[in-house]
Amino acid sequence: MVIMEGFFTPSKGVFFGIHFADVHFDESTEVDIVNLNSPTPKQIVRIVGVILSLILLTTFTGFVVDARRQFLPGTTLERVAIGSLTPAEALTKVRHVDLQPINHTIELTALDQTVASSSAQLEASYHYDQTLTAILQSQQADFFGWLRQLLSNNQAELAYPLPVTYNQDKLKLLIQALKAQVDAPPHFPSAKLNTSGLTESLVIDTGEDIFTLNESATLQQLTEKLSQVTNQTLAQNSDQPISAAAVLDPVSQQLTPEQITQAHERAGRLVGEKLVFEKDHLKRTLNDTQLVSLLTFPDGYQTEAINEVLYQWAQEINRVPQNAEFVYDPETLVVSVFVPDRKGLELNTAMMAQSVVDGLKELEGTDTQNLNDATLTKELALIETEAEKTLAETNNLGIKERIGFGESYYYHSIPSRVHNVSLTTNRISLTLVAPGEEFSFNKTLGEVSAATGFQPAYVIMSGRTVLGDGGGVCQVSSTLFRALLDSGLNITRRLQHSYRVSYYELDRQPGFDATVYAGNVDLRFINDTDDYVLVYGQADPATLYMFIEIYGTSDGRTTEIKDYQSWDPRPPLPTQYIPDSTLAPGQLKQVDWSAAGIKAKFTHIVRDKDGKIMRENEYYSNYRPWAAKFLQGV
């Protein structure tokens, strides 16, 4: 007899079917070991059952693990039996068979263009290892389905095709070959106004349907279609190429009839209108022909074209700060150096691009009658940098700041006229006018003749336009007249031209010119400020633009031009032909040009710093109609 303490655990009891819940062991308890080591027949059956179950489970698990490494029985790849083989064994077998894709052709089409390559050119082949891996994964994706198939008594054939694969780089070359045939420059709808102010000259280009081949999307679509190609499908369609359509993206589209009508209406609203940007006498204008060209259809605006305009403006406007220089003889008051201080300027192109778009939108939605002279004015967006030295620091004459500004253009001038404009500007520039002194344009300019450097250009003399020394002088006097109007200085004499001159109406209405000629045909003003004033001008023969500035000390006066009117338009007089024996019979030589007649006037008001009117003058101009004149050989 052996005394046992805690020998049996509850789990052992369960295994042998012996329950000790009501048995208590202590030191006085004696257990018969022999009886405990003699299980009953029922217990023996249980033990054997558990052992057999473990053996069966282990065997089945090994079977499943081993089967998972193999293809299901009955599996074939392109009629090659690979059932119950591992991927490595199957790979060896199919390679030994040496399967080759059937020769075929791949076509890629877009619009009316087609490119083609043979399967050999595209390096068609089989990727056995990838295909075998894919088959094994697909068979085992559903474990219980795979197990049912594995244990099924009815082992049906599981036939798999062998997909043909192609060299991706070769497919890309095929796509690029088609792209080269299909792609074309976009042809966007646009509008063009051939004659400013004339709606009938408006032309709408309807654009064209143009596409670009999307390479990545086409490659994806082509690859997906070719992934379905097998020897079986090739054998079924041996005489037919495999055709696929390329993916196209539109780059421009033609307007529909309805959109064409809307485009005419939209562009027509800009005819005759202007968009002006200005700040401190710096001005840039978009006329109606330019505005129309900035439209895109069916909506939107030409961003690139707007940026090109702004780039050109920036080239003209941008400048670094300029320090003042002023050197003069205190005795004679002859100025040798004058450089006004100028702020550094940079066109804010980002703000301006948005401002142009905003202006276009406003003009499209604004009744022209609500605009002054059909012009919408907005601020020129500039980034300014102050100069380090100002004019006020250079002198004690009171030449501190600009108090007047005038500008003009003289496009289409002949070379001799361009020369005379520059010469005249240089002659009157840097003139100092004392307080109370009267300035005379003719006196300041001096003699106008070939001897003083002037060249023959067209002038108005005795009712005719003739070649004479000094043609172009009036370009400068007219520009000075505009600067005087802006300054508010006391203009004591101004005369109009006999007839309208196109140069003076390039940027102004009729009536803002001033003619000068020897004698009393003069432009004069009195310096009615308490300090000296200086006349400063520049003419640019390259851009055919000039300006005149008046410098002094501002006393707070302001100016206003109001009540402008033009009326009584009259057509040009009939063309005149003047017999000339120096010309060959019938030969014509034009010596004068026609001009329509018109009357114009405006009121110029000058107010002091308190707003009180100092002067109020009306400037009246009556331009006679003018006849074109030809010399005719007799």
pLDDT in tens, 217-234: 999 999 999 988 887 888
Predicted TM-score (pTM) of this structure: 0.65
pLDDT at residue 371, as a whole number: 64
Please name the amino acid found at residue 357.
V
Point out the residues of the chain with pLDDT beneath 70: 1-37, 367-372, 458-466
Cα–Cα distance measured from residue 59 to residue 65, given in angstroms and rounded to the nearest whole number: 10
Reply yes or no on domain 100-254 having CATH 3.10.20: yes
The domain segmentation of the chain, as residue ranges, is: 100-254, 267-557
Element (H, E) at 325: strand 325-328
Closest CA to 213 of 246, 184, 185: 246
Rounded to whole angstroms, the Cα distance separating 335 from 431 reads: 8
**What does the alpha-carbon distance between residue 25 and residue 29 come to, in Å, rounded to a whole number?**
6
Strands 242-245 and 105-110: parallel
Secondary-structure percent of the chain, ordered helix, strand, coil, rounded to 5:
30, 30, 40
Q: Please choose, from the candidates 424, 427, 493, the residue with its C-alpha nearest in 3D space to the C-alpha of residue 457.
A: 424
Judge whether 548 and 489 are in contact, CB under 8 Å: no
Q: What is the DSSP string of 189-242?
A: -EEEESSTT-GGGEEEE----EEEE-HHHHHHHHHHHHTT-BHHHHHHTTTS-E
Q: Tokens 């102004």, residue?
A: 508
Same fold, 100-254 and 267-557: yes
Instruction: Give pLDDT, residue 506.
Output: 86
Contacts 24+ apart (CB under 8 A), 283-290: 283/380, 284/313, 284/317, 284/380, 285/507, 286/356, 286/359, 287/196, 288/193, 288/196, 288/197, 289/192, 289/193, 289/194, 289/196
**Is 3.90.550.10 the CATH number for 267-557?**
no
In terms of Cα–Cα distance, which of 355, 333, 570, 336 is closest to 437?
333
Pairing of strands 524-526, 490-493: antiparallel
Q: Would you state the structure tokens that stand for residue 541, as one six-digit string?
A: 């023969």
Radius of gyration of the chain (CA): 49
End-to-end Cα distance, the chain: 167
Nearest to 560 by CA among 485, 450, 451, 477: 485
pLDDT on residue 34: 46
Ramachandran category for residue 83: left, alpha or beta (phi over 0 → left; psi -120 to 50 → alpha): beta
Predicted pLDDT of residue 2: 38
Say if CB 516 and CB 584 are below 8 A apart. no
Angstrom CA distances, 541 to 417, 421, 429, 430, stand at 10, 9, 16, 19
